[in-house]
Structure 1
């Protein structure tokens, strides 16, 4: 199962909107077996290595630098409501085939 984290500054409204967009994007890319969690940036930097994939606003990617160094895939998003951006970033990341096999 692919473990996904969606994180934003406060972990409430924005991350819930991002979660829905991420779910729709993953399903449309034929990733079926995943579990998505949300959190505030300040509460998840220590648990980020428990996930395979993290979506966050592009300006907060540095928060997950340690997780990236340990192999977690982190994707920065500009438009949190754009399913097309989520899909495009996943496709361009080179992670897609690896994530489908989780």
Structure 2
């Protein structure tokens, strides 16, 4: 599975999300390739990923974007592995 972590500038927050995602996917036993970048770049490359994680406040940026089969997952608390796990499992059930 290819996953993208995106934040406003592509620096700190996306790197933190990436680390949290790695922990969650490892605990769930799901093989994953995780990348991180700025939200603007994420919008243009979204179709190359299965899942995109970002702040809930930034999800509207993906409106009108070519997402292909990618699902955008907005997080209220970027540091919460519990929330990431919950949203991940909900999204996988929908697929």
Answer whether TM exceeds 0.5 for this pair.
yes
Q: Unaligned 5+ residue runs, structure 2?
A: none
Q: TM-score, normalised by structure 2?
A: 0.88
Matches within 5 A, 1:24-43: 24-32=23-31, 34-43=32-41
Aligned counterpart, 1:8: 7
Cα distance in 2 for partners of 1:31, 1:78 equals: 23
Equivalences, count: 94
Q: CA deviation at 1:64?
A: 2.0
Query: Aligned-pair RMSD on alpha carbons?
Result: 1.6
Matches within 5 A, 1:1-102: 2-32=1-31, 34-65=32-63, 66-68=65-67, 70-93=68-91, 95-96=92-93
Runs of 4 or more consecutive aligned structure 1 residues displaced over 4 Å after TM superposition? none
Q: Unaligned 5+ residue runs, structure 1?
A: none
Q: TM-score, normalised by structure 1?
A: 0.83
Cα distance in 1 for partners of 2:73, 2:66 equals: 12
Q: CA deviation at 1:25?
A: 0.7
